[in-house]
Structure 1
């Protein structure tokens, strides 16, 4: 098994190198047979990566502790599902997963029927194969997934208990699919530049790939936040941890890209900006991988310190410098074919403002993340940037983006007249201001919260009007009933209305963020058995403290009975788990969710006489955050489902005709 497993890596490396060389040479000498040979290498590459994955799954599932990776991340009593998902618990396994997804994307693009005969494919294939060569080199010579230990241990070290959670089964998969997926539009953009194709065909061809990558990045962040909320026992969902930031930054720039490409398609503008955005997004995925694996920053999510960070830093530098060189060499050609803005009060201007806010947000996160490194390099002292900095910077940016999202749908392309602005915005603005005044009357005093809720209401109203006016116009033409008219209106323009659903999802997430950050209540009390804790409308009775064992783990738990407004909600249990193969205990919280708020209870400490210390939190509006996350996913899927190229055809020029 050892020879077979390692052979899959080295054969994969050989195929990646061969595919890269033969494809590049085939482009240079204009030989289609050589390019077809490169396509065969791509298929072999995918098979090698798949066999490597299956081999590591087998070794993990059968507890082959003579393999270092299996020994480091599993143990015999670990449930089979977590034995298998330990594949992405460490450096070597997670990089193998990354490589597998990369080869999967390459195969899907190269052998897609829609890409058949596309002269861009050889260039795209070369760029993606260059990525594959790097990852196979890392797997073959640096982070070896099939390394053997000199002595066979009787038992493995086990998996970090924090990773033994359903959310952490899905979170890395979705995040890596998003990370790797951004290499696809990057490869298309570079191929278009090399071929001097300055039209928007490469954007149309990659639209679905980009949305899918963005969707998976969204899912990765959502599952990560949900995991942190229920598993880490602190009542939060986003700590601005460096590794969290690493996945958030490319999400922001990819979001900006998805918006600005619409301006290029409609108005032939922002071409340099769009290519720059996709280069930045791709570079940030590599930067995030560097952060996770370098050990330069402390993070609860990061892998153990290793020398992998240096390799990723070098690869990122080569990729970015190469991409910028190609962009600059085509700069004058791009500028000659670009359009111009006609008015600051227009839909395209609102898209640009939104782009600037998103990129500004990404830069603020980037600067806050690397500032400890900068401060250490300059002053010799590592200064940590905490949650208050990120919240203070990001809150006004989020509200500004929400406002732009609210007004954008009702703005006209090219130029909005005063009459148009008055017609579209007078009623929504009056309703939003009235709602803000009502909030103040009802006792909501915090200025940021009132402004935030007002902007959210404005967004909900303007988006409702978009659906309402569209349905009304369609019914006038077709006499369809409302549900049919709504369905056909949306399915005729999936991209537009899928985007609106995503906007609504972001509005509900903002609703949850504002409520949970501004109006949460917390108490920490030590009480004897039989006593209770009261907070807001809740009473928590402390009924019992006991201990039990599950396998090699010891669990201290408390039984609670919870009442709200005198009505019994049920019996719940909070736990502190001590692991036989892990130093740090973890908390299993009691969580009661409703549309209004969450009740969140943590067992913090206890005494021999039965007294226990509980941390109790009331966190408003959290359910709306998860509902908004669902809308983001639903809107993204709706936007790409059954999408088509709408009859567009490439307008190739120059070198695109040279490969026969």
Structure 2
């Protein structure tokens, strides 16, 4: 097994380098023989990487502790599902996962119906450079098949925080997003090398980009859900450096998805699109560098050895390569660029959207890197925490929500002001009335009310757009309401899929604004039989009990909960003690309804009759997860199509 694994890694590197050379010879000599040979090499890489992946899963699942990776991240008592997901718990496994996903993606590129496209050899070379780098790093510093000096009787086990369903989904979805962005990046570089400044590369990569954005969205949402349930601090987003590293490419790809529509439809924003996709790809490498370098403190990081150095070198190489290619083609890009006709148009609103998203990216980047920058130049490390990010990002995201509300109401090329005002007035009134209602019912907090009212305005705009389209279709086809709504959406998936995504963002925004502005927290030490009151809840501590589960020691508190005078049952927060881990794991107890979460943490205890609890009431957190689901549904709808409805309606 050891020999097979290491031979496969060496073969992967050799075949990658051979395929790069074969593609270069084939391009230069216009030889189909060499191009087909290189294509065969790509498919061989996919096969070889599949072997490596299967072997690592096998030795993890069968607890072969003679391998360092298996001994470091699993033990005999670990459930099989977490033995397998330990695949991506450490550096070596996650590098192999990245390589496997990338090998599958490049296999899909060369096997696609568009394989005869002149760009494919260039695209393959760029992707093969990435694969060769990962194979090289695994051989030099992150070999998943490295053996131990002495075979231990049992492994160290998996970090308790990673023994959660989030571990199964969060890393994989993020990696699918990270790796997916390499494909549109490769097409962009290929288009530049071939001096093809039209929108062909945009059309070829639209679905690749949407899929990458979809998985980045899933990864960030699942990561927040995982943190909320597992870490025990009561929140879902801490602006941790590694969280920020996955959020930044999401922001830039969001900008790219908007501006690529302008290039595809109008031939505009070509330079923007090239810069955005290059930046998005580089940020995926930057995020991986942050995780593995150990230069910044993070609960997500697993910096080890000199992996960070390798990633810094490769990231620098790809940045310099991109700058060189763009600079060498800049006059051509500039020559074929199409200017925006009017400042008051959908094109201009999309460009403004890009400016805001890039500003958000820079703000996150600056806050993430400032501790390192300050330490480098002053010798003092100044930590930048959530207060900075919340203060800076809140007005930026409020601007984005406002722009998302206005943009659907603005027409292409040059919008008519009177028509814009006419279409804006009803949803604007709805948003204003909503804000007044919040004040009347006693909701406080100026910024929160402004944010919620703006979000409602944005929601009303999109609802009204659906309504107008549906009524126009019913008038033309005499269909029923539901049938008209479904067929309207499926006849123009890109447009209405985007609207569904925006509605999901509105739902998510309600959860974020409410949970930040109106959460309540109590930390209290109580004796047996005493009650903690918070909001409409009364929690009575009954007893503290010890038990065992899966050979782990469990200490849990039995709590009776009364909500608005009604008994709603019991909850039991826990501390789990693992034999293989020095610190206990916190298992949060949560009671959820549509409007709020009761969130209870067993903090500490002096004895079984005197216990300290942290209790929080978090409003509308479940709306965050619901908003994420709606965003995924909208992206899936947009992925289906490219059709444009032939039914038009007048505003």
Give the TM-score, by structure 1 length. Answer: 0.96
Match of 1:207 in 2: 206
- Pairing 1:128–2:127 present: yes
Match of 2:438 in 1: 439
Match of 1:29 in 2: 29
Q: Secondary structure at the match of 1:570?
A: strand
- Equivalents in 2 of 1:475, 1:557: separation in Å? 58
Q: Which runs of 5+ in 2 are unaligned?
A: 646-651
Q: How many residues align?
A: 645
- Equivalents in 2 of 1:152, 1:629: separation in Å? 45
Match of 1:354 in 2: 353
Q: 1:644 to 1:310 in 2, by over 3 A?
A: farther
Deviations 1:314-349 (A, max 9, x none): 101110110111111111111111111222221111
Match of 1:320 in 2: 319
- Equivalents in 2 of 1:68, 1:240: separation in Å? 33
Is contact 1:233–1:586 with CA below 8 Å preserved after alignment? no
Is contact 1:405–1:459 with CA below 8 Å preserved after alignment? yes
Match of 1:553 in 2: 552
Is contact 1:204–1:645 with CA below 8 Å preserved after alignment? no
Match of 1:96 in 2: 96
Match of 1:252 in 2: 251
After alignment, is 549-558 or 458-467 more displaced? 549-558
Match of 2:10 in 1: 10
- Equivalents in 2 of 1:141, 1:33: separation in Å? 33
Deviations 1:425-474 (A, max 9, x none): 12222221222122222222211111101111110111011101101111
- Pairing 1:106–2:103 present: no
Deviations 1:555-604 (A, max 9, x none): 11111111111211112211111211111212111101111110000111
- Equivalents in 1 of 2:312, 2:327: separation in Å? 22
- Equivalents in 2 of 1:211, 1:437: separation in Å? 38
Q: Secondary structure at the match of 2:573?
A: strand
Match of 1:238 in 2: 237
Deviations 1:511-559 (A, max 9, x none): 0011000000111111111121111111111111111123442211111
Is contact 1:168–1:223 with CA below 8 Å preserved after alignment? no
- Equivalents in 2 of 1:308, 1:69: separation in Å? 16
- Equivalents in 1 of 2:381, 2:85: separation in Å? 35
Is contact 1:555–1:578 with CA below 8 Å preserved after alignment? yes
Match of 1:151 in 2: 150
Q: Secondary structure at the match of 1:123?
A: helix
Match of 2:429 in 1: 430
- Equivalents in 2 of 1:71, 1:644: separation in Å? 52
Match of 2:610 in 1: 611
Match of 1:420 in 2: 419
- Equivalents in 2 of 1:470, 1:608: separation in Å? 65
Is contact 1:23–1:35 with CA below 8 Å preserved after alignment? yes
Match of 1:77 in 2: 77
- Pairing 1:544–2:562 present: no
Match of 2:117 in 1: 118
Match of 1:39 in 2: 39
The answer to which structure, 1 or 2, has the higher relative contact order (CA under 8 A, 6+ apart) is 1
- Equivalents in 2 of 1:441, 1:550: separation in Å? 51
Q: Which runs of 5+ in 1 are unaligned?
A: 647-660
After alignment, is 434-443 or 409-418 more displaced? 434-443
Match of 1:63 in 2: 63
Is contact 1:539–1:563 with CA below 8 Å preserved after alignment? yes
Is contact 1:185–1:209 with CA below 8 Å preserved after alignment? yes
- Equivalents in 2 of 1:342, 1:334: separation in Å? 18
Deviations 1:130-157 (A, max 9, x none): 1111011011121111001111111111
Is contact 1:211–1:258 with CA below 8 Å preserved after alignment? yes
- Equivalents in 2 of 1:63, 1:445: separation in Å? 56
Match of 1:656 in 2: none
Q: Secondary structure at the match of 1:356?
A: helix
Match of 2:463 in 1: 464
Q: Secondary structure at the match of 1:290?
A: helix
- Equivalents in 2 of 1:88, 1:305: separation in Å? 14
Query: How far off is 1:622 after superposition?
Result: 0.7
Q: 1:458 to 1:307 in 2, by over 3 A?
A: same
Is contact 1:205–1:645 with CA below 8 Å preserved after alignment? no
Q: Secondary structure at the match of 1:192?
A: helix
Is contact 2:493–2:643 with CA below 8 Å preserved after alignment? no
- Pairing 1:331–2:330 present: yes
Q: Secondary structure at the match of 1:107?
A: helix
Match of 1:581 in 2: 580
Match of 2:649 in 1: none
Is contact 2:91–2:304 with CA below 8 Å preserved after alignment? no
Give the TM-score, by structure 2 length. Answer: 0.98
Instruction: Map 1:129-278 to 2 at 5 A.
Output: 129-278=128-277
Is contact 2:489–2:496 with CA below 8 Å preserved after alignment? yes
- Equivalents in 2 of 1:642, 1:199: separation in Å? 21
Q: Secondary structure at the match of 1:547?
A: strand
- Equivalents in 1 of 2:573, 2:485: separation in Å? 46
Q: CA RMSD in A?
A: 1.2
Is contact 1:295–1:306 with CA below 8 Å preserved after alignment? no
The runs of 4+ residues in structure 1 deviating greater than 6 Å are none
Match of 1:306 in 2: 305
- Equivalents in 2 of 1:644, 1:60: separation in Å? 46
Deviations 1:84-116 (A, max 9, x none): 110100000000000000000000011012x13
Is contact 1:198–1:334 with CA below 8 Å preserved after alignment? yes
